[in-house]
Structure 1
Amino acid sequence: MTAARLRAFCLSFNDAAEEFPFSPETSVFKVAGKLFALSALDARPLTVNLKCEPENAVRLRTEHPEAVAPGYHMNKRHWNTVTVAALPEKTVRELIEDSYDLVVAGLPRAVRLRLDRP
């Protein structure tokens, strides 16, 4: 997955927006104002920080030690840093979608319904 495809996929979700609160090089993808993905899209290797359920975070780190690490500068229990090129694109897409869904699940019901994600 290229940086352009990563960016396009993150922005394909309902109400997804890209912001640059930390630096012009760091893309922060949010839904309803809440972070679900963070990446320096011009970095090599390309990595992305994604939210994850704690038990899945540990499992992913164990199964893919070359590709998944505790979230860099994030809560290590709930966030992973994923090296994009080290995993199949389908897996990266699933992890991004899981991150988005976890963030949406924590939003107020009215917002979830507006996003069509019960």
Structure 2
Amino acid sequence: MNIEELRDYCISVKGATESFPFNEMTLVFKVMGKMFAYTRLKPKDGGFSVDLKCDPEKSADLRERYRGVGHGTHTQGLLWNKVCLDSDVPDNLIEELIKHSVDEVIKKLPKKKRYEYLNL
């Protein structure tokens, strides 16, 4: 998956918005005002990657199975993963992880907001 395909996929998510809240190089994707993905448009360390929210148990498993999955760029623990786009992580899994990240965001919203999202 390349950076353009990543952007296209993220923006196709129901209710997704994109912005640059931190700086002109970090593109952030949100649903219901909450981040589900972010990426640097000019990577510091080589290839492009995306940071995605993830269930901690799933994070641990992914990090063991794929070299292209590691700790989130500016996060600690298992709640965010950095997924290298040009790595051993297949494109269909990256898409699945984006969906999972959105689900993680939505499930933590207040009930009224969840209902609002589901009825967009």
Deviations, residues 13-35 of structure 1 (Å, cap 9, x unaligned): 12111111111111011111111
Partners of 2:97 and 2:41 in 1: CA distance: 17
Amino acid at match of 1:55: E
Match of 1:84 in 2: 85
Q: How many residues align?
A: 116
Q: C-alpha displacement at 1:4, in angstroms?
A: 1.1
Match of 1:96 in 2: 98
Match of 2:39 in 1: 39
Q: Tell me the percent identity.
A: 38
Amino acid at match of 1:30: K
Out of 106, 111, 114, the position equivalent to 2:113 is 111
- Contact preservation (8 Å) 1:3, 1:42: no
SS in 2 for 1:115: helix
Deviates more, 1:36-45 or 1:84-93: 36-45
Normalized against structure 2, the TM-score is what? 0.90
Output the aligned Cα RMSD: 1.3
- Contact preservation (8 Å) 1:70, 1:81: yes
Q: Show structure 1 runs of 5+ residues with no match.
A: none
Q: Show structure 2 runs of 5+ residues with no match.
A: none
Partners of 1:51 and 1:74 in 2: CA distance: 10
Deviations, residues 40-94 of structure 1 (Å, cap 9, x unaligned): 1343411000011111111100011x20011111132201100011111101000
